[in-house]
């Protein structure tokens, strides 16, 4: 019987090959994760193992855009959105289990991984299915993962894999989706179909518009969802629409190494888009899942706005915001910024944090709070540097960046006292450019401010770090055209006039942190710098 089936399959193959044309591999990305399936199996969780008591599980079924690499932990600088999906669900009600694997298509996931995933599905569970990026290329050689175009329930192609001699029947993309949906429901679960994540590509016919899959996989997934009355989330459209609001530079860094796999920025972007899509979906089958989601509110600084008044956000480290309480303690100049800004005309929001560099300020989500609060007409003062140099790239506080301003990066395995994780670290200038770009995207005005001088003296003059940070600030100014207040040199000039002995009163405890007197002097120097460059923010200064 086996021999007869093989002969029938072989005879059918010649005729069918003329009928079906495989989809072109438009991604041109080689992902061999599926080829190391045995290794990958040790990294992916056993299906259902995350379940807590009788709580449901949300299973994620997809490819490398959902779970990148064998380990899925960003060790190559790429992350899939499934890595961050749990952040949008209450773990006390439901756990999120990422069963995706790079390199898989609807066909290869169904044939090689789906049976094991089904073993963990229980009544009441949810299964998100987002596949299609790899449903192209040859039917019967190489990775042999292509499905037939479209959603036909009757089209099929009998193939013999050239490298292994294995016989296999290939179905349409839509038919594989039907099988996923049908089998989830047979187990008492709830399927959710999603369209693909966007690629890093613009529509060649519409400048500025990110390419869509609304005529292929997005359309086909939607059609199957309608046919089978299944919830559908157009992840492709939601993410692409937000990408179109970005500059091309920002859009590009949401991807890493190629045009399909996302950086941590892109993975977080898609995870939020997926959550937004679920929350907006009106299908009744998805309502219980929505009740188990966390708040979709974006984190903010909590600034209290007044009608008609812009906000000046101040970002930075301990020289900007410190304890700011004891008259004889350490103060940051942002705490006394009201001595130079007219608070009847502008609201001051000091969002600086002691001990932070550009990198850690961003990593901890502090920059996101400022970004989410921005409105057209606001201002953002960006001052970093004191914590951005040294050797703590991948250990200790892990807050240093790569020196300089080049558009460069490196993946580090960070180890500190609390955790071990992978992080892509960029140059000092890259982080500044990101902040500047973000502020402009919101219609606000960024102003770069150089770091305060330390109480270190040589030949009767206070220190000047103009060979390092001074150069880098000016390179960023040249690259972006941003307004620049050279606080470092303006404040240093004021200290030189005082002299070393009198300057001691302007610092507290060490050579970096300022007393209240020193903080006030730095605030006045910021105001002096704003006037010097004729910044639009200068009109909000006290007379």
Kind and range of the H or E element at 485? Answer: strand 483-485
DSSP letters spanning 4-20: HHHHHHHHHHHHHHHH-
Write down the pLDDT at residue 390. Answer: 87
Percent of the residues in the chain that have a pLDDT greater than 90, as a whole number: 87
Write down the pLDDT at residue 416. Answer: 85
Are the C-beta atoms of 504 and 430 separated by less than 8 Å?
Answer: no
In DSSP terms, which residues pair with 420 in a beta bridge?
415
Write down the pLDDT at residue 33. Answer: 62
Q: 471: pLDDT confidence band, cut at 50, 70 and 90?
A: very high
Per-residue pLDDT averaged across 81-97, rounded? Answer: 98
pLDDT 10s digits, 3-52: 333 444 544 554 555 578 877 766 666 655 665 666 666 678 999 999 99
Task: Quote the CA–CA distance of 488 and 394 in Å, as a whole number.
Answer: 28
Average pLDDT value for the chain: 93
Write down the pLDDT at residue 21. Answer: 80
Q: Which fold has domain 31-290?
A: Rossmann fold (3.40.50)
pLDDT 10s digits, 120-132: 999 999 999 999 9
For 236, list phi and psi in degrees, rounded to 5. -60, -45
Segment 465-473 long-range contacts (CB within 8 Å, at least 24 positions apart) = 465/385, 468/389, 468/403, 469/385, 469/388, 469/389, 469/428, 472/404, 472/405, 472/428, 472/429, 473/432, 473/448
pLDDT 10s digits, 270-313: 999 999 999 999 999 999 999 999 999 999 999 999 999 999 99
pLDDT 10s digits, 127-176: 999 999 999 999 999 889 999 999 999 999 999 999 889 999 999 999 99
What is the pTM for the complete model shown? 0.94
* 311-540 shares the fold of 31-290: yes
Per-residue pLDDT averaged across 86-103, rounded? Answer: 96
Q: 70: pLDDT confidence band, cut at 50, 70 and 90?
A: confident
pLDDT 10s digits, 344-388: 999 999 999 999 999 999 999 999 999 999 999 999 999 999 999
Write down the pLDDT at residue 32. Answer: 56
Give SS3 for 348: strand
Q: β-strands 57-62, 95-98: how paired?
A: parallel
Q: Any idea where the domains of the chain sit in the sequence?
A: 31-290, 311-540
Question: What's the sign of the alpha-carbon dihedral 68, 73, 79, 84?
Answer: positive
Residue 449 in tokens: 């401010």
Which of 318, 113, 130 has the alpha carbon at shortest distance from 238?
130
pLDDT at 97 over 90: yes
Write down the pLDDT at residue 91. Answer: 97
Write down the pLDDT at residue 1. Answer: 37
Q: Is 311-540 assigned to CATH 3.30.750.24?
A: no
Task: Quote the CA–CA distance of 467 and 232 in Å, as a whole number.
Answer: 56
């Amino acid at each position: 019987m086996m021999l007869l089936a093989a002969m029938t399959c072989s005879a059918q193959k010649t005729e069918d090959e003329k009928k079906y044309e495989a989809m072109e591999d438009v991604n041109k990305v080689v992902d061999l994760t599926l080829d190391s399936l045995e290794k990958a199996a040790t990294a992916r969780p056993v299906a259902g193992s995350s379940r807590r008591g009788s709580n449901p599980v949300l299973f994620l079924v997809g490819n490398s855009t959902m779970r990148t690499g064998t380990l899925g932990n960003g060790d190559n600088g790429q992350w899939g959105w499934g890595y961050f999906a749990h952040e949008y669900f209450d773990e006390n009600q439901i756990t999120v289990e990422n069963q995706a694997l790079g390199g898989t298509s609807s066909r290869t996931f169904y044939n090689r991984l789906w049976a094991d995933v089904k073993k963990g599905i229980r009544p009441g569970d949810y299964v998100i299915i987002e596949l299609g990026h790899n449903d192209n290329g040859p039917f019967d050689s190489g990775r042999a993962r292509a499905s037939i175009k479209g959603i036909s329930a009757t089209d099929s192609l009998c193939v013999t894999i050239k490298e292994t001699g294995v016989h296999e029947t290939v179905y349409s993309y839509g038919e594989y989706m039907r099988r996923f949906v049908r089998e989830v429901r047979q187990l008492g679960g709830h399927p959710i179909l999603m369209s693909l994540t966007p690629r890093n590509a613009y529509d060649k016919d519409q400048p500025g518009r990110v390419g869509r899959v609304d005529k292929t996989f997005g359309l086909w997934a939607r059609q199957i969802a309608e046919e089978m009355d299944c919830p559908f989330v157009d992840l492709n459209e939601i993410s692409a629409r937000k990408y179109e609001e970005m500059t091309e530079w920002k859009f590009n860094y949401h991807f890493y190494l190629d045009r399909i796999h996302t950086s941590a920025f892109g993975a977080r972007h898609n995870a939020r888009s997926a959550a937004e899509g679920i929350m907006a979906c009106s299908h009744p089958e998805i309502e219980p899942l929505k009740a188990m989601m966390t708040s979709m509110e974006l984190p903010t600084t909590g600034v209290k706005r007044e009608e008609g008044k812009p906000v000046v956000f101040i970002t930075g480290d301990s020289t900007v915001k410190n304890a700011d309480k004891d008259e004889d303690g350490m103060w940051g100049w942002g705490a006394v910024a009201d001595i130079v800004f007219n608070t009847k005309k502008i609201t001051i929001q000091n969002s600086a944090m002691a001990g932070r560099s550009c990198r850690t300020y961003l990593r901890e989500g502090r920059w996101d709070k400022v970004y989410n609060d921005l409105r057209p007409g606001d201002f953002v003062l960006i001052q970093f540097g004191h914590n951005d140099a040294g050797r703590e790239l991948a250990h200790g506080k892990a807050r240093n960046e790569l020196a300089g301003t080049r558009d460069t990066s490196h993946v580090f395995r960070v180890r500190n006292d609390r955790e071990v994780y992978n992080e892509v670290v960029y140059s000092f200038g890259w982080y500044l450019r990101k902040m500047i770009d973000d502020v402009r995207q919101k219609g606000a005005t960024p102003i770069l401010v150089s770091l305060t001088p330390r109480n270190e003296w040589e030949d009767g003059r206070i220190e000047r770090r103009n060979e390092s940070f001074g150069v880098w600030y000016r390179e960023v100014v040249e690259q972006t055209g941003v307004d620049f207040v050279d606080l470092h040199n303006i404040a240093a000039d004021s200290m030189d006039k005082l002299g070393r002995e009198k300057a001691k009163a302007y610092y507290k405890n060490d050579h970096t942190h300022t007393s209240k007197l020193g903080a006030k002097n730095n605030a006045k120097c910021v105001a002096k710098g704003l006037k010097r460059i004729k910044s639009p923010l200068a009109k909000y200064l006290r007379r």
